[in-house]
Amino acid sequence: MNIKHKMKLHEEPFQQIQSGKKTVEVRLYDEKRRRLKQGDTIEFTKLPSEDEKLRVNIKKLYTYPTFREMFEDLPAEKMEIVDNCIETNVKSIHNLYSPEREKEWGSLAIEIELIHLENGG
């Protein structure tokens, strides 16, 4: 049985994953994320209401020393980033994760695949 990880997402990225547009989730490669393995599942809970959940399968994990290197390497459309400016994306991610934490932990791109759940049962 694959380990199920739990993470929270704001409404916009939640819907982008739900619709299949976003196939890469970006996170700090911290202690919690270091437990992720290819083939595991993640249950995302939508913020702020936490009344919706979706499950994804981890297809592949990409680690980088910095978010900048990640944004330079991976196609923006997989991350559903509208602004293809690397500077803007780095500034934006630093609003969530400080440059100090980035330096300490590095960055992680999680390539995911939505698991379609049957209702009921």
pLDDT of 118? 53
Question: Tell me: the pLDDT tens digits for 51-100?
Answer: 999 999 999 999 999 999 999 999 888 888 767 789 999 999 999 999 99
User: Mean pLDDT over all residues of the chain?
Assistant: 91
- Give the residue, 12 or 84, on which the prediction is more confident: 12
Helix, strand, or coil (residue 54): strand
**What's the token pair of residue 11?**
């409404």
Percent helix, strand and coil across the chain, each to the nearest 5: 35, 30, 35
pLDDT score for 1: 54
